[in-house]
Each structure stands twice: as structure tokens, then as C-alpha cells.
């Protein structure tokens, strides 16, 4: 039962994208009353329709993480409808930068969502959880917040390591530790997962190179992240906080 989310209200940001769709299915299957939130409410609506068709309790809400007012509206909406929030999965991300040479405005836009917005939503929902004396926050980071880029993976391909992503995912790891210390006395746990490369149709040469750099000899897929997230949201991890867990097939263990 420690791995069940039955009876828990969980908010998942970015619930229709790269990691989000698989997480939505797995968290809902674990029994959560799941609220998905992003700017693309239409895409979330399709996820809700698919999940409800198989009997799962999933809802969609609008969220622009770059705007604190939008975060507050979401928090107030969730609290008004469900009376509480037991879990927050910070999965939303903006990727305006496309190369290291991108305009500085793209860096600033990235920080507004991925740094300032991350802080704002964690604080808003952390306060709500802290008021109830319990809760779990799971930040979805990246191994790119743990290590530098391996340019050999991209050689000869039209692919880039993007600096803002390295910056804000590294910051997420230590912000996790800050909030774990800050909210721990009020019964709220805060942890981070750092996934490795996720297969999304990349060039076969990249897939081959990257897979060889992992112990498991493959990239991640939509089934690989849900289990660790469910563990950190549930009671099985009731004494785990302030942790950064790589979910990377051994990539960072070299």
C-alpha cells in the first residue's frame, strides 16, 4: 500500500509532453486523483479523455508557470475543488533557447519559467501542503543538471547542448534541498529525479552513441520514470527528503 496513490490529490505540471504523458498514465493508474496543468489545455483535454475512458480520475487546468497570478489561480482552484493537495510533480519546462548562440532574450524567457516559475509554484503549493502538515513535492530534473555536455554524442549531427537547460536543472537540485529543509518541519518532503536521455525519435547515430554510454544500453522510454515518481509521492518514501535520484540507466555512474 505504500506504493499506492489512492486517496491522494496530485498536481502534475506539463502533463501532455515528453515525460508528462507517461507520468499522467502511471500516476492515474496508481490511484491518484490527478490534476494536469499547462498552457496547452487542449492537449491536456485529450489526455483527460483517454484516461477517463479507462476509469481514471484525471482533470485538466490552465497554468502559465511564468506568471505568479496563474500559479495562484491554479492553487486556489485545486484547493476549492478538492480541499487539499497531497503531491506536486514539477514537470513543466520551457525551451525557448535552441542553441548556445540564441538571443539573450531566450535565456531570460527560459529563466522566467524554469527558475523563477519553479520557485513560485513550489512555494505556493508548499505553503498549502505545509498548512496541512503533510505532502510530497517531486521535481523532474535532468542528468544535464549533474554533468557537463558530452559533445561527442552530437558530433556530425544537427543537435546541440543548450546552456540554459544545464543551468536551471542544476539549480533545481539545490533548490530541492533548500525546500526540503524549509518545509521538512511542517511535514512536507521535497525530492528531485534526474532522468537520462529519453527516446523521442532522435537520429539513430545519436541513439546508438547515447545507449552505449549507459549501463543498460538503451535510452529511457515512457515507462521508466513513473515508478520512481510514485515511490517519492507515496508513503513508501515517508522518510526520504532532500534527495536527487538519477533515473538514467547508469549514465552518471561512470
> How long is the chain?
254
Q: Is residue 59 part of a domain?
A: yes
32 DSSP assignment: -
Entry pTM: 0.96
Q: Is residue 92 part of a domain?
A: yes
Instruction: Say how far apart CA 4 and CA 25 lie, in whole Å.
Output: 14
Which residues, in sequence order, are CB contacts of 174 under 8 Å at separation 6+?
A: none
Number of domains in the chain: 1
Q: Is residue 192 part of a domain?
A: yes
115 DSSP assignment: I
Burial class (CB in 10 A: 0-12, 13-18, 19+), 151: exposed
Q: Is residue 2 part of a domain?
A: no
Quick check: 16 pLDDT over 90?
Answer: no
Q: Is residue 254 part of a domain?
A: no
Instruction: Say how far apart CA 131 and CA 124 lie, in whole Å.
Output: 11
Q: Is residue 153 part of a domain?
A: yes
Tell me, what CATH number does 156's domain have? 3.40.50.720
Q: Is residue 252 part of a domain?
A: no
Grid coordinates of 105: 532574450
pLDDT tens, position by position, 143-166: 999 999 999 999 999 998 999 999
Q: Is residue 1 part of a domain?
A: no
Grid coordinates of 197: 536521455
Q: Which domain holds residue 37?
A: 9-247
pLDDT tens, position by position, 93-108: 999 999 999 999 999 9
pLDDT value for 19: 85
**3-class SS shares of the chain: helix, strand, coil, % to 5:** 45, 15, 35
Instruction: Say how far apart CA 84 and CA 75 lie, in whole Å.
Output: 9
Q: Which residue has the cell 549533474?
A: 146
Amino acid at each position: 500500500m505504500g506504493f499506492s496513490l489512492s486517496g491522494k490529490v496530485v498536481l502534475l505540471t506539463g502533463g501532455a509532453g515528453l515525460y508528462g504523458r507517461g507520468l499522467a498514465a502511471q500516476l492515474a493508474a496508481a490511484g491518484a486523483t490527478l490534476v494536469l496543468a499547462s498552457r496547452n489545455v487542449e492537449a491536456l483535454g485529450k489526455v483527460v479523455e483517454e484516461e477517463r475512458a479507462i476509469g481514471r480520475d484525471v482533470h485538466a487546468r490552465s497554468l502559465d508557470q511564468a506568471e505568479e497570478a496563474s500559479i495562484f489561480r491554479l492553487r486556489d482552484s485545486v484547493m476549492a475543488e478538492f480541499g487539499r493537495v497531497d503531491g506536486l510533480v514539477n514537470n513543466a519546462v520551457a525551451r525557448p533557447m535552441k542553441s548556445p548562440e540564441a538571443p539573450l532574450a531566450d535565456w531570460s524567457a527560459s529563466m522566467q519559467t524554469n527558475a523563477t516559475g519553479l520557485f513560485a509554484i513550489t512555494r505556493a503549493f508548499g505553503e498549502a501542503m505545509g498548512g496541512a502538515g503533510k505532502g510530497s513535492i517531486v521535481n523532474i530534473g535532468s542528468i544535464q543538471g549533474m554533468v557537463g555536455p558530452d559533445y561527442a554524442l552530437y558530433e556530425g549531427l544537427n543537435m546541440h547542448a543548450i546552456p540554459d537547460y544545464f543551468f536551471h536543472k542544476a539549480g533545481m537540485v539545490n533548490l530541492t534541498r533548500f525546500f526540503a529543509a524549509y518545509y521538512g518541519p511542517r511535514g512536507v518532503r521535497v525530492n528531485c529525479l534526474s532522468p537520462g536521455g529519453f527516446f523521442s525519435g532522435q537520429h539513430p547515430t545519436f541513439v546508438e552513441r547515447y545507449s552505449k554510454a549507459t549501463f543498460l544500453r538503451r535510452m529511457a522510454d515512457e515507462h521508466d520514470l513513473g515508478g520512481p515518481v510514485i515511490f517519492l509521492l507515496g508513503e513508501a518514501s515517508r522518510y526520504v527528503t532532500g534527495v536527487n535520484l538519477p533515473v538514467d540507466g547508469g549514465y552518471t555512474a561512470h
